[in-house]
Chains A and B, each alone.
Chain A
Amino acid sequence: MKANTSFLATLNPSCKLFAHLFVMFLLMNITNMKGTFFIWILAVLIGIFLGGWRITYFLKRLFPYFGFFVLIFWMMAAFGEGQETIWQWAWFHITKESLNHGLTIALRMLAFVTYGLLFTSTTDLTLFIMSLIHQCKLSPKWAYGLLAGLRFIPLFQSELNQMKTAHKVRGYKEKNGWKAFKRYALPLFTHGIRKSERIAIAMEARGFTGTKNRTYYRTTKIGSRDWAYLLSLVSVVIGMTFL
């Protein structure tokens, strides 16, 4: 997860996350389709104008979710409850209400995804953890532990590839998925545990105690632009709920 050079990337990560979570809570309480649709469009516009998304990037990232969108719409429409029947076949029972609900819920899910993407595509991971320490008062012990752990994602990937190649060289063929899973999962977990122990000892050996009175190379603050983004986003979204 890396930041880009947009306006959103200069905001305080915790503040941004909080603003987006707040929009999510508002979305959960909106039951009309029009309001949900406008809030989703708002996320897209923010992404394009403030988040530095190109249209192609946006389409490429969001395209897979349209299948998801259709699916949720279908589930809600076909299995939801309602009075005015439009179409009925076997156990599928589509009503006017369920059609409406289906579209609302599908748009809501799409909005959740878009606000999530808005956060992850503009946030630097290290800064995010730092702002969790400074603004959310997370204990440094957990914050630095988390930072060390996240560094492991690419390491696990290369380790998995290494294991696969080693098996291949020795003539092992994956016959079924479950057996292959067992073969790879156990060494991955044991390596993870061994490495975690080594990291913990290394951190303690360098004087890391995890207490709060320490100094930081990078600090994060909440400035006026953070408040401006938070308040304007929330007020615009609240305004949209009354449409």
Chain B
Amino acid sequence: MTWKMKEVVLAVILSVICGVIYLGWSTLWLPISSLVGPVGAGFMFGIWVIASPIVAYIIRKPGAAFVAEVAAAAVELLTGSHFGLSALLVGVFQGMGSEIAFAIFRYKRYNLLTLMLSGALAAVFAMIYNLLANGFGYYSTGLLLTTLGIHVVSGIILGGWLAKVVVDALAKTGVLEQYAIMKERRKKGDINGHVSGL
């Protein structure tokens, strides 16, 4: 399945916006984590995986989730994240996680369930990276499982659910008429009462 030029640019630009949001979020994370500790600040995790569900939900192509997350992570690195190169690497892991969620359903189902699953799997894959690179293996088991639990829940809510809310709001404005998300809706016959000037 080849990508159209406008889909490529759309994916990149949405990733750029998400990357800038990630950067702001990382800056916000520092003071909060110093108050409640990195484990307590884990509830903020979900925003860092939002690029994948947003782009995959709109474009609906194999690889969209992975590309979006890696591009967003690259933007975070290039604009000066305080996580340095690990921002890029963790993006690769998170992208793989969310891609799997869509691949399980053979890129056919894009609903709240798959978006939430993508957020959850991204959290699991980010934890694998943390175990490899950030020494999470040194934490006691109970603490590790708590952190994973917080990250997964945060990934489901701030990653999956929020992505759906954002994209559905965008769809209502009519800017997505030309993309897979609205094409499929038109095929099904529910246009939410909105028809743009086609």
Is B111 in contact with chain A by the CB < 8 A criterion?
no
Q: How large is the interface on A (under 10, 10 to 19, 20 to 34, 35 or more residues)?
A: 35 or more
Q: Indicate if the CB atoms of A80 and B34 lie closer than 8 Å.
A: no
Q: Indicate if the CB atoms of B5 and A192 lie closer than 8 Å.
A: no
| B114 → A minimal CB distance (Å) | 21
6 sample A-B contacts, Cβ–Cβ < 8 Å, listed by A number: A67-B30, A79-B139, A119-B85, A150-B78, A193-B13, A204-B5
Interface-facing stretch out of B98-106, B119-127, B128-136, B150-158: B128-136
With A71-B38, A153-B20, A194-B175 as given contacts, are A125 and B86 in contact (CB-CB < 8 Å)? Answer: no
Is B145 in contact with chain A by the CB < 8 A criterion?
no
Residues in B with CB closer than 8 Å to A141 are 3, 5, 8
Is A75 in contact with chain B by the CB < 8 A criterion?
yes
- Compute how far the CA of A204 lies from the CA of B5 in the bound complex, rounded to whole angstroms: 8
Q: Indicate if the CB atoms of B175 and A105 lie closer than 8 Å.
A: no
Within B1-33, the residues touching A (CB, 8 Å) are 3-6, 8-17, 20, 30, 33
Residues in B with CB closer than 8 Å to A116 are 77, 81, 83-87
Q: Indicate if the CB atoms of A79 and B166 lie closer than 8 Å.
A: no
Is B96 in contact with chain A by the CB < 8 A criterion?
no
Is B108 in contact with chain A by the CB < 8 A criterion?
no
Q: Indicate if the CB atoms of A81 and B13 lie closer than 8 Å.
A: no
Our pick among B5, B17, B38, B71 for the contact of A146 (Cβ within 8 Å) is B71
Interface-facing stretch out of A107-115, A165-173, A219-227, A231-239: A107-115
Within A27-76, the residues touching B (CB, 8 Å) are 28, 64-65, 67-68, 71-72, 74-76
- Compute how far the CA of A204 lies from the CA of B8 in the bound complex, rounded to whole angstroms: 12
Q: Indicate if the CB atoms of A195 and B78 lie closer than 8 Å.
A: no
Is B169 in contact with chain A by the CB < 8 A criterion?
yes
**Chain A residue with minimal CB distance to B54?**
A189
**Chain A residue with minimal CB distance to B31?**
A67
Report how many A-B pairs have Cβ atoms within 8 Å.
158
| A237 → B minimal CB distance (Å) | 14
Interface string of A88-126 (1 = CB under 8 A from B): 000000000010010011001100111111011000010
Q: Indicate if the CB atoms of B17 and A156 lie closer than 8 Å.
A: yes
Is B89 in contact with chain A by the CB < 8 A criterion?
yes
Residues in B with CB closer than 8 Å to A72 are 38
A interface residue numbers (CB < 8 A to B) = 1, 20-21, 24, 28, 64-65, 67-68, 71-72, 74-76, 79-81, 98, 101, 104-105, 108-109, 112-117, 119-120, 125, 141-142, 145-146, 148-150, 152-153, 156, 185-186, 188-190, 192-197, 199-201, 203-204, 208, 210
B interface residue numbers (CB < 8 A to A) = 3-6, 8-17, 20, 30, 33-34, 37-39, 67, 71, 75, 77-87, 89, 132-135, 138-140, 143, 166, 169-170, 173, 175-176, 178
Main SS of the interface on chain A? helix
Give the 6 A-B residue pairs with the shortest CB-CB distance, closest first: A116-B84, A200-B6, A149-B12, A113-B84, A105-B135, A116-B85
- Compute how far the CA of A101 lies from the CA of B134 in the bound complex, rounded to whole angstroms: 10
With A193-B170, A195-B13 as given contacts, are A153 and B75 in contact (CB-CB < 8 Å)? Answer: yes
Main SS of the interface on chain B? helix
Residues in A with CB closer than 8 Å to B11 are 145
- Compute how far the CA of A197 lies from the CA of B175 in the bound complex, rounded to whole angstroms: 10
Q: Indicate if the CB atoms of B166 and A189 lie closer than 8 Å.
A: yes
- Compute how far the CA of A188 lies from the CA of B21 in the bound complex, rounded to whole angstroms: 12
Q: Indicate if the CB atoms of B34 and A113 lie closer than 8 Å.
A: no
Our pick among A65, A80, A210 for the contact of B5 (Cβ within 8 Å) is A210
**Chain B residue with minimal CB distance to A182?**
B169
Residues in A with CB closer than 8 Å to B138 are 76, 80-81, 98, 101, 105
With A119-B85, A189-B170, A201-B6 as given contacts, are A79 and B13 in contact (CB-CB < 8 Å)? Answer: no
Known: A79-B140, A81-B139, A195-B13; 18 extra A-B contacts, CB below 8 A, are A64-B82, A68-B30, A68-B82, A71-B38, A76-B139, A79-B143, A80-B138, A80-B140, A108-B134, A112-B83, A125-B78, A141-B3, A145-B12, A186-B170, A189-B170, A192-B13, A197-B178, A200-B4
